[in-house]
Structure 1
Amino acid sequence: MLYGIAAATAALLLTAVLAALLRVPALRAGIVDRRRQRPLPVLGGPAVVAVTCLVAWVGEWTAVAPLGEGVGRLLAAAGAVAALGLVTDVWRLRARVPAAGTALAALCVVPYDETGWGGGVLAAGWIVIASLAFRGLDHADGLAGTVGVVTAFGAGACAAAEVMDGLAVLLSVFAAALTGFLMHNWPPARIGLGACGSLFTGFLLSSAAVFTRAGYGPGPTAGVLFCLAAVAAADAALVVLARLAARRPLLRRGPDHLAHRLRRLGVTPPGAVVLLGAAAFSAVLVGVLVHTGWTGAGAVLWVAGGVAVAVLVLLCVTVHPSRRDTSTQVSGHLRVRNG
């Protein structure tokens, strides 16, 4: 317990300092994201990843908080996904490249002894979907970090209930590192997660959830996993449905995510983060209660219903197409007219 508190405190402070130090080099190197007409450096992700891995390694090396069987492999795979995300941030790789790398890493960490090969493949697919969904949450200042902190505490509670102490400590350290990052990422953000940090967040949390649910029935497990990632799943479903209806490319970025639509309704950027963070907390709480047996699996239906209603309502909110989509449509019309 004492080590967990000390490790979390160290992770929070180290991430806050390192994120501040990486801001200027990211701006000078041009490792930025264009957000609301301003350049946002995106080396906050490497700060979160480096501190999480460092503190976890210290606990493993000193044997004070060993990670446990399979957790070290999980963290190594998450680090590899983060490295691929960093390459994506620097060289602007196509979206399918980090998606393929995430899929390969997911197949390497699933506990097949407990899930079986069929269940393991399904679990790997869920890890990929959740990782990409968390990357999508990085569309607004403070959102991915806030939802990540809430989810990390929920997944950590599930791990503690399974007496996976190493995994629980790792998730508490990660939550503390994200909190330190949020000191610089709260709207208006001074630094962002980027693909490196958002993919690491989604991969680590979804893989940890799969580990804690390994050996349980597929139905209740699917419900718990959905609750732990309900906000990210809602954002992904909203974007996919909206882009299919508008016949826009699924992997191209655009202002059609949850926070974008809430802002169109008049919600302020901090208000959108607080609202979605509260939604994440409610869904994660249901997932933890179902996992620990404090409530029945039927409670998941309330979360699913809330997600469905939110997606359907926000689909009706008009959003402006991105400049890239607009220019593509204009050039297409010109080619038709000139043809």
Structure 2
Amino acid sequence: MLYGIAAACAALLLTAVLAALLRLPALRAGIVDRRRQRPLPVLGGVAVVAVTCLVAWAGQWSGIAPFGDGVGRLLAVAAGIALLGLVADVWRLRARVLVTGAAVAAAGVVPYDETGAWGGLLAVGWIVLATLAFKGLDHADGLAGTVGVVTAFGAGVCAAAELMDGLAVLLSVFAAALTGFLMHNWHPARVGLGACGSLFTGFLLSSAVVFTRAGYGLERTAGVVFSLSAVAAADLLLVVLARLLSRRPLLRRGPDHLAHRLRRLGPTPPGAVVLLGAGSFSSVLVGVLVHTGWTGERAVLWVAGGVVLAVLVLLRIPVQPPRRSVSTQVRGQLRVRSG
């Protein structure tokens, strides 16, 4: 208990310091997110990943907080996904490469002896979708980090209930690292999570939930897994439906995510994140209560109903089309004149 608190405090402070130190090198190297109004350095994810791995492995090496079966491999594979994300931040990899990498990584961490073949296949699919969904949440200052912290605490409680102490400590360290990162990512953000941090977040959390639910019935497991990731799932569902209805490419970026549409209703950028964070807390709480047996499985239906209602309402909110740059407008005028 005392080690867990000390490890979490160390992770929070180290991430806050390292994220601040990496901001200037990211700007100088041009590792930035240009979708924002101003270029945002995105090496904050490197700080989260590095500190999480460092503190967690320190507990393993010292023998104070050993990982347990499969947790060390999970962390190593999650770090590999983060490395792929870092490459994407630097060289702008195609989305299909990230999907393929997430699928291969997920196939390597699922405990098939407990899930079975079909259950393992479904788990791989869920991990891939959740990983991409958390990457999609990185569209607003503080959103991916806030939802990640809430989900990590919920998954950590579930792991502790299953006596997976090593996984519970890892998730608490990760939650603390994300909290330290949020000191620089809250609106207006000075450092971004990037594909490195968002892919690591989605992969680590979804894989951890699969670990805690392995061996349970498929129907009840699906409800708990969905509740723990309801906000990310809602964002993914909203984007997919909107782009299918408008016949736009699914993997192309656009201002059509949860926070984008929510802000059109009036909330400020921090206000939208707080609302979505509160929604995440509510759904995660339901998932934890169902997992621990404090409430019945039907409680998940309230979460599913809330997600469907939110998606249907926000789907009707028009999104602002991306602004054309001045150079694009000039080129268009020249083409018209030359034609």
- Counterpart CA distance in 1 for 2:253 and 2:266 is 22
- Counterpart CA distance in 2 for 1:248 and 1:324 is 18
Partner of 2:205: 205
- Counterpart CA distance in 1 for 2:10 and 2:240 is 39
Correspondence 1:1-339 to 2 at 5 A: 1-323=1-323
Secondary structure of 2:261's counterpart equals: helix
Q: Which residue type is aligned with residue 32 of structure 1?
A: V
Secondary structure of 2:256's counterpart equals: coil
- Counterpart CA distance in 2 for 1:27 and 1:112 is 43
Percentage identity across paired residues of the two chains: 80
What displacement does 1:68 show? 0.4
Which residues of structure 2 form unaligned runs of 5+?
none
Question: Using a 3 Å threshold, how does the CA distance of structure 1 residues 63 and 262 change in structure 2: closer, same or farther?
Answer: same
What displacement does 1:34 show? 2.0
Q: Which residue type is aligned with residue 64 of structure 2?
A: V
- Counterpart CA distance in 2 for 1:242 and 1:324 is 21
- Counterpart CA distance in 2 for 1:322 and 1:84 is 28
- Counterpart CA distance in 2 for 1:267 and 1:245 is 26
Instruction: Write out per-residue CA displacement over residues 115-146 of structure 1, whole angstroms, 9 at most, x where no aligned residue.
Output: 01111011011000000000000000000000
- Counterpart CA distance in 2 for 1:154 and 1:160 is 10
What displacement does 1:35 show? 4.1
Secondary structure of 2:34's counterpart equals: strand
What displacement does 1:222 show? 0.3
TM-score between both structures, scaled by the size of structure 1: 0.96
Instruction: Write out per-residue CA displacement over residues 181-212 of structure 1, whole angstroms, 9 at most, x where no aligned residue.
Output: 00000001000000000000000000000000
Q: Which residue type is aligned with residue 42 of structure 2?
A: V
- Counterpart CA distance in 1 for 2:96 and 2:190 is 28
Q: Which runs of 4+ in 1 moved over 6 A?
A: none
Secondary structure of 1:109's counterpart equals: coil
- Counterpart CA distance in 1 for 2:258 and 2:218 is 29
Which residues of structure 1 form unaligned runs of 5+?
none
Instruction: Write out per-residue CA displacement over residues 262-292 of structure 1, whole angstroms, 9 at most, x where no aligned residue.
Output: 1111110000010000000000000000000
Secondary structure of 2:137's counterpart equals: helix
What displacement does 1:297 show? 0.6
Instruction: Write out per-residue CA displacement over residues 232-258 of structure 1, whole angstroms, 9 at most, x where no aligned residue.
Output: 000000001111111111111100000
Secondary structure of 1:28's counterpart equals: helix
What displacement does 1:51 show? 0.2
- Counterpart CA distance in 2 for 1:200 and 1:262 is 26
- Counterpart CA distance in 2 for 1:156 and 1:101 is 26
Secondary structure of 1:319's counterpart equals: coil
Q: Which residue type is aligned with residue 47 of structure 1?
A: A
Secondary structure of 2:9's counterpart equals: helix
- Counterpart CA distance in 2 for 1:247 and 1:315 is 14
- Counterpart CA distance in 2 for 1:324 and 1:114 is 52
Q: Which residue type is aligned with residue 67 of structure 1?
A: F
Secondary structure of 1:215's counterpart equals: coil
- Counterpart CA distance in 1 for 2:37 and 2:193 is 18
Instruction: Write out per-residue CA displacement over residues 154-199 of structure 1, whole angstroms, 9 at most, x where no aligned residue.
Output: 0000000000000000000000000000000000100000000000
- Counterpart CA distance in 1 for 2:255 and 2:35 is 10
Secondary structure of 2:138's counterpart equals: helix
- Counterpart CA distance in 1 for 2:324 and 2:168 is 43
Alignment: residue pair count: 332
What displacement does 1:323 show? 4.2
- Counterpart CA distance in 1 for 2:149 and 2:255 is 24
